[in-house]
Amino acid sequence: MKSFSICDISGDSCSIEDMPFLENAHIDIESYADDKFLNSISSVLALHLYLSDAMVMRCGTITLSRLIKLSIRPCGPDWMTSLLLLLGNTPKLKEFLVDYDYSYKTEDLRYSWNEPSSVPGCLSSSQLEIFEWRDYGHKIEEIKFLTYILANSKCLKTVTISLRPTIDLEDQEWIIEELNDIPRVSTASHLLINCKFYGSSSNL
């Protein structure tokens, strides 16, 4: 089996058999993933991961030595710090997507962000080339997380930020200015900003 997809919101513990030839995995679970489950996805090349509370607790224990493409769907306030633990175990990562499009969000939710003392190897080495953030809201913690990624990803080629459509047009204009002012350590990177204006969209 080369591709695997699972969706489970029951909250029960989750386990699957070893799949050594697995290349693509879509994991959308609310349940606790045991060691056998994590080992089964350790060889994947592409991973779409829903960062539920249970999965956030296991982020630091997942080793994804072959992973090239990672897409995460955040949930809850602690995903940023935990995600960096996961990035520390993805040394070959080239494409990284934060996809907030279909995540449950409340405007008053405060995220937790603590800048780590060390930089994940996929950022500081010559690996990560593409970074995308969909439904970016420009909260303080989001700004800090984005600034950290751009300041430490030495070989980024493309950065794509899609603003949350609920942001007012006037606010989008100054957010775009602030995004353009965030320093990027990779001088060869290109910043693309997608804006949605009441049912229409534009690229900047």
DSSP string, 44-98: -SEEEEEE-HHHHHHGGG---TT--EEEEEE-STTHHHHHHHHHTT-TT--EEEE
Domain residue spans of the chain: 3-203
Q: What is the pLDDT of residues 142-161, one digit of tens each?
A: 999 999 999 999 999 999 99
Determine the CATH number of domain 3-203: 3.80.10
Cα 161 to Cα 143: distance, rounded to the nearest angstrom = 12
Give the percent of the chain with pLDDT over 90: 39
Q: What is the pLDDT of residues 55-87, one digit of tens each?
A: 766 767 788 899 999 999 987 777 888 788 889
What integer pLDDT is reported at residue 196 of this predicted model?
74
In the block, tokens 């303080």 appear at 140
In the block, tokens 């960096």 appear at 84
